[in-house]
Each structure stands twice: as C-alpha cells, then as structure tokens.
Structure 1
Amino acid sequence: MKTVELQTYKKEAFVNITRSVREEVMKSGLRDGIVLVHSPHTTAGITITENADPDVCSDMIRALDALTPKISYDHAEGNSPAHLKTILVGNNVSVPVKDGELCLGIWQGIYFCEFDGPRNRQYTITPVSK
C-alpha cells in the first residue's frame, strides 16, 4: 500500500490521479488482480469518469451542487454539502488489472474529488493480486 500526498488548490476540484495509480501498479509488479484507490477523508472522494473533456468534471461539480442544497444544516463546521457529496461519489474505487495494465475504458480516468478545499490531502493505492 502506498500513501500519496496531494495539495488541492480550489474549494472543489476533480484531480486526475490515473498516472500515479498506474505508476504504483507498475512498481508493485502486479500482473493480474485489482488496485484499490481510497480517500480517508469525509469531504473528499474518489471516482472514475471521463478524462478527455475537462468540462465533464466541471459539469459533475455543478450537478453535485444541485443535489446538495444550501439548507440549514446542524453540523457546525459549515461543510455539510461536502460531506454529502463525498457520500454520493464514494471514497474508493477498485480497478481490475490485467497483464500489469489498468482495465480502464479509453475515455476513463481516476479522480480525487475535493469538496472542501483547498487542503493537504492524501489517498492510498493498494494493489491486490488474485
């Protein structure tokens, strides 16, 4: 398992982490299995989405904003919408690995989803053999 440090620079952003996941799988020597990518944060998630058009990520942020209304929340920190977005997106993905390669679609990328930044963050990459 490898922990990767990440500095985010916006309140909300999708950061493409596919390269670091691919590199860690290569370093691990994993040929066939899965790789688990996990965020240990309650206001940041991990997802797989299109990586060819950056408008997809900005569209996702706007759509998640629409799903998490600005209501009167009891949580005192003022970041309840960020918690809800993380619940909706999820905090981990698993990706099949075959012949040492991530089994992602041609347009797919793995993204760290910041919903309460900017912050110092981290995520873990865990290759698992079958």
Structure 2
Amino acid sequence: MSVFSVRTTKRTSIVNITSYVKEEVKKSGIRSGFCVVYVPHTTAAVFINEGADPDVVRDIAYMLERLIPWEDHTYAHSEGNSAAHIRSAIIGNSRVIPVENGELLLGRWESIFLAEFDGPRERKVIVKVIGEK
C-alpha cells in the first residue's frame, strides 16, 4: 500500500492523478490483479473519465455546481459544507482498476481524477495493488 498527497487550490478542484497511480502500480511489481484507489475524506471523491480534453472535467464540475449548489438554505448540516458531502457521496471515494502485464487497464481516453469539493486542502490518496507478480 502507498499513500500520496494532493494539494488542491480551490473549493472545487479536479486533479488528474493518473501518473501517480501508474507509478505505484509499477513500483508494486504486480503483473496481474487489481489496483484500488481510495480517498479517505468525506468531501472528496475519485472517478475515472476522459482525460484528453480538459473541457470534460470542467463540464463535470460545472454541472455538479448546478445540480448540488453550495448555497442552499435547506441543508441541515451545520458546518456549511453539505454540498461537498453530497457530491462526494454521489461520485464515491474509491475505484478498482484491473491490472494486466503490469499496466492499468484504462480505456484509451480514460484518466483517474481526485475531485475536491471543500478546498483548498491537502488530500491523501491511498493506492493498494493486489495480485500476482
């Protein structure tokens, strides 16, 4: 298992972490198995989507802002970050990616992203590669 940190810069930030995860898979020496990517935070998430066109993640962030607005006076949670908790719960805090021949089996355009919804902060990402060497 390995842990790395990502520093976010805005309330909502989406950071491409694919290169970090690929490096951890390589260091593990696992040839065939699975890679688990997990963020141990209730206001952050991890997802896989297109990484070739930055407009895709901009659109995702934009629509999350519209669907789950930060300012909503009906939220009961008293800390004022209910929108961040809801966004994180919907997207999820982990992903499992197959590993074959020592490589992540991501699609041609796919990348792995950390989504920050209550930043700026420093976030931990846990990577666990399980399988055969």
Alignment of 1:113-128 (within 5 A): 113-128=115-130
SS of 1:64's equivalent in the other structure is helix
Aligned partners of 1:13, 1:119: CA distance in 2, in Å?
Answer: 10
Match of 1:51 in 2: 51
Aligned partners of 2:6, 2:109: CA distance in 1, in Å?
Answer: 23
Normalising by structure 1, we get a TM-score of 0.96
1:93 Cα shift?
A: 0.4
Identity of aligned residues (%): 45
Normalising by structure 2, we get a TM-score of 0.94
Aligned partners of 1:83, 1:55: CA distance in 2, in Å?
Answer: 24
Choose from 94, 98, 102 the match for 1:92: 94
**Is the aligned partner of 1:77 residue 2:51?**
no
Aligned partners of 1:86, 1:35: CA distance in 2, in Å?
Answer: 20
Gaps of 5+ in 2: none
The number of residues matched between the two structures is 130
**Is the aligned partner of 1:67 residue 2:83?**
no
Aligned partners of 2:40, 2:125: CA distance in 1, in Å?
Answer: 7
SS of 1:5's equivalent in the other structure is strand
Match of 2:111 in 1: 109
1:129 Cα shift?
A: 0.7
1:29 Cα shift?
A: 0.1
Match of 1:17 in 2: 17
Letter in structure 1 aligned against 2:72? I
What is the aligned-residue RMSD (CA, Å)?
A: 1.0
Aligned structure 1 segments of 4 or more residues deviating by more than 4 angstroms: none
Aligned partners of 1:100, 1:82: CA distance in 2, in Å?
Answer: 35
